[in-house]
Amino acid sequence: MVAWRLPLMSETEPSLPGPSAPVTPRLYSPRVLAGYTALAGFPVGAILLGFNDVRRGRRRLGWSLVASAVLLFVVSAIHGSLGLEPGNLPFRHLGLNVFLALGLWKQEADRFCHAPQAGATAARWWPPLLVLLTCLLLYGVALLAFGV
């Protein structure tokens, strides 16, 4: 007679992986924030600053900043597509963008300087550029489709 037994749990299921390394937040540097703010406008810089706050653990502040900046960006897009005067919105002016960029850079410089001590690393600069270019492309297609 052949002895038959149930396989042990460790024989049927793969072992669970050991403790993994803690996830380190990837933060946008003050130069990246200032560059996007100066070239693309305050809403884009504020979105990136909001992502930094979310990654630092200040979720409520970060997501509210992101939501406010997205709303401002959408209002700007609608305002521009209606053919209204684009100069009415303050972040359309390059001089003001540079001023706001310097403000964001100053605000983020100290916190980013201490971030490596907390285990944070610098995020790549180009993914927000791809998202921004995609949004601009979709905006242009929408303008062509609606004949505005």
Query: Could you tell me if 24 and 32 are in contact, meaning their C-beta atoms sit under 8 angstroms apart?
Result: no
Query: Could you tell me if 97 and 39 are in contact, meaning their C-beta atoms sit under 8 angstroms apart?
Result: yes
In a domain, 91, yes or no: yes
In a domain, 92, yes or no: yes
- Average pLDDT taken over every residue of the chain: 82
* pLDDT tens digit sequence for 3-14: 666 555 555 555
* pLDDT tens digit sequence for 85-126: 554 454 556 788 899 999 999 999 999 998 888 889 999 999
In a domain, 51, yes or no: yes
Domain span at residue 102 reads 25-146
In a domain, 2, yes or no: no
Measured in whole angstroms, how far is the alpha carbon of residue 1 from the centre of its chain?
67
**Count of the separate structural domains present in the chain:** 1
Helix axes 30-40, 126-146, angle to 10 degrees: 20
In a domain, 11, yes or no: no
- Percent of the residues in the chain that have a pLDDT greater than 90, as a whole number: 48
Q: Nearest-CA neighbor of 69 among 46, 92, 53?
A: 46
In a domain, 5, yes or no: no
Whether residue 67 is predicted with pLDDT greater than 90 in this model: the reply is yes
Per-residue pLDDT at 14: 55
In a domain, 13, yes or no: no
Place of tokens 């597509």: 81
In a domain, 48, yes or no: yes
Is pTM beyond 0.75 here?
yes
